[in-house]
A and B are shown apart, each in its own frame.
Chain A
Amino acid sequence: MKNLILSKERFEHFISLLAKKHNVMGPVHKGYDNFSFQPIKTAAEMTLKYVPTIIPPKKYFMPQYESFLEYDKTWGENMKAVVESEALVLFGVHTCDIAGIKALNIVFSDRPRDYNYLSRKKDVTIMGLECNEYCDEFASCAMMNNHLPDGGYDLFFTDLGDFFFVEVSTLKGDVIVEEIPVFEEALGRHFKELQGLRARKAKTFTNEVGIEYQHVPKILSDTKESLIWNELGDKCLACGNCTNVCPTCYCFNIWDEVNLDLKTGKRVRMWDSCQNEGYAKVAGGESFREERSARQKHRFFKKFKYMVDRYARFFCTGCGRCSRTCMAQINLKETLKKLKEEYAR
Chain B
Amino acid sequence: MKIQLKDSLYTLVRGKVLRTRQLTELEKLFEIALPEGQSLDHEPGQFVQVSIFGVGEAPISICSSPTKRDSFELAIRKVGRLTRALHELEPGDEVGIRGPYGKGFPVTLMEGNDIMIVGGGIGIVPLRSLINYIIDNRRDFGKVDILLGCKTPKDMLFGDEVETWQKRVDVNFSCTVDRADPDWKGNIGLITSLIPGVNLDPNRTFAAVVGPPVMYKYVIQELRKKQIPDRQILVSLERHMKCGLGKCGHCQIEHFYCCQDGPVFSFDQIKDLEGAI
A touching B, CB within 8 angstroms? yes
- Residues of A whose CB lies within 8 Å of any CB of B are 68-69, 71, 73, 75-76, 79-86, 107-108, 110, 112-116, 119, 224, 250-256, 258, 262, 265, 267, 269, 272, 274, 279-284, 286, 288-289, 294, 297-298, 301-302, 305-307, 309-310
Contact, CB under 8 Å: B54 / A283:
no
* One of B8, B54, B79, B254 near A258 (C-beta < 8 A): B54
Contact, CB under 8 Å: A71 / B53:
yes
| B55 to A: closest C-beta gap in Å | 6
B3 interfacial contact with A, CB 8 Å: yes
Contact, CB under 8 Å: A251 / B80:
no
Among B210-224, those with CB < 8 Å from A are: 212-213
Contact, CB under 8 Å: B56 / A255:
yes
B38 interfacial contact with A, CB 8 Å: no
Contact, CB under 8 Å: A306 / B254:
yes
B10 interfacial contact with A, CB 8 Å: yes
Contact, CB under 8 Å: B249 / A251:
yes
| A66 to B: closest C-beta gap in Å | 11
Interface residues contributed by chain B, number (CB under 8 Å): 42
Q: Smallest CB-CB separation from B249: which chain A residue?
A: A251
Contact, CB under 8 Å: B240 / A81:
no
The 10 A-B residue pairs whose C-beta atoms are closest, nearest first, are: A81-B8, A251-B249, A309-B255, A310-B255, A81-B5, A258-B54, A283-B79, A306-B255, A254-B242, A71-B53
Contacts of B254 in A (CB 8 A): 301, 305-306, 309
B1 interfacial contact with A, CB 8 Å: yes
A-B contact count (CB 8 A): 128
Given contacts A281-B240, A282-B238, A289-B275, contact A116 B246 (CB under 8 A): no
Q: Smallest CB-CB separation from B79: which chain A residue?
A: A283
Contact, CB under 8 Å: B11 / A79:
yes
Contacts of B71 in A (CB 8 A): none
Contacts of A73 in B (CB 8 A): 53-54
Contacts of A310 in B (CB 8 A): 255
Q: Smallest CB-CB separation from A310: which chain B residue?
A: B255
Provide the B1-32 mask, 1 if CB < 8 A to any CB of A, else 0: 11111111111101000000000000000000
